[in-house]
Structure 1
Amino acid sequence: MMITTMKKTIYYNFFPTKAEEEAAKSNPKSQPLPRRTPVEIRDVYPQTLPDPNNPWLIRKVLRHEEIQSSKLVLSFNETFEHIFRYWSMDMVSNILKGKRFYVSIWDVSDVSGLARRYKSNDIFLEEEVNNGGEFYYLGWKDLNEARNFNPGDEIGLFWDVNFGVFQFKLLCQKAAL
């Protein structure tokens, strides 16, 4: 089964506006930075729905820093390919403007099949840009505190397009030292 999505990408505009040119003339040391604008492009190869038996498109081995800070680090590629392609442009634009976007996480790790839901001000997605590149944080404090995670545990995530939530599962738990 195919789902219709529009792929998101970032367009960099390197040409300054007239106002930015005037500001640069008055202060020659300041250079206008390229403006980033998200745009939608049609998928050449539309994404199929995840395999229902193994839907974990984002797999991570937890690091000590992610457990300590209660923020999962997601790469630019993971975020754009497996999350943003299902979001509206307004949702993506808010994050790219430096705002947090509050989400829900359903923990489906329980073998009974019951999902535990997490939604609070500590469950969010936000962007981080630094000299090393661009990545995203998924805040997961409530879930992290409710479970006993260890560095080396493997988790899986995917954005559930049907419910508009992150599905989360502990795939492999490393024994505590």
Structure 2
Amino acid sequence: MKLSCREVRREEMRSGVSLELKLGVDPWVIKKTIETSDLGHLSRLLLAVDGVKKHILPKWDANRNESLHKGFQVCVWDCDTKSEHQLVFKQWASNGSYVLIGKWKKVFVERRVLNKGDQIGLHWDQTNSRFNFRILNRA
């Protein structure tokens, strides 16, 4: 039985065991400097193709990878604010780019007051089946 993101977090809190990634290496395998296009009305975060192919797709099963063109809902854990949000992960058919869409602008750009030049980090947390997000540097 697959647990939802919220159920995994509840179980973690109940057991008193943290499943948060803590390593001596930098877990932020996808680093992105926010650009004007990531802040606009399209409400999307454009991710580098090579980073997604190297660090995310190999961790996903065939069904998830086959759904990339249609897009599917993913959990995104904001490590700074300890809050969870739902976005859609998708591969654009036109150019093969990967994006996080949906409420990106509202729940990340506006809520976290992201600006052009800010650097963010992402990685796929396989244990909790979610992206982890953090603001690494402010412009």
Taking structure 2 as the reference length, the TM-score comes to 0.75
Instruction: Output aligned runs, 1:126-165, within 5 Å.
Output: 126-130=90-94, 133-139=95-101, 140-141=104-105, 142-165=107-130
Letter in 1 for 2:51: E
CA distance in 2, matches of 1:148, 1:76: 25
In the alignment, does 2:70 pair up with 1:99?
yes
Contact map agreement 1:118 1:143 (CA 8 A) in 2: no
Q: Post-superposition shift, 1:51?
A: 7.1
Matches of 1:70 and 1:109, distance apart in 2: 21
What residue ranges of structure 2 are gaps of 5+ in the alignment?
1-20
Q: Which has the larger radius of gyration?
A: 1
Identity %: 28
Greater percentage in helix: 2
The AA in structure 2 aligned to 1:118 is H
Count the aligned residue pairs: 114
Shift of 1:157: 0.2
Does the 8 Å contact 2:70/2:90 carry over to 1? yes
Amino acid at match of 1:99: K
Root-mean-square deviation (CA), in Å?
A: 1.7
Alpha-carbon distance in structure 1 between the residues aligned to 2:22 and 2:66: 29
Measure how far apart 1:135 and its partner are: 1.1
- The one-letter code matched in structure 2 to 1:127 is Q
Give the superposition deviation at 1:138.
Answer: 1.2
Give the deviation of 1:143 after TM superposition. Answer: 2.3
SS in 2 for 1:159: strand
1:55 partner SS: coil
CA contact (8 A) 2:108 2:114 kept: no
What SS is found at the alignment partner of 1:92?
Answer: helix
Structure of greater relative contact order (alpha carbons < 8 Å, 6+ residues apart): 2
Runs of 4+ in 1 over 3 A off after TM superposition: none
2:23 counterpart residue number: 52
Question: Which structure is higher in strand share?
Answer: 1
Q: Residues 13-32 of structure 1: matches in 2 within 5 Å?
A: none
The TM-score with structure 1 as length reference comes to 0.60
Pair 1:87–1:153, CA change in 2 (3 A): same
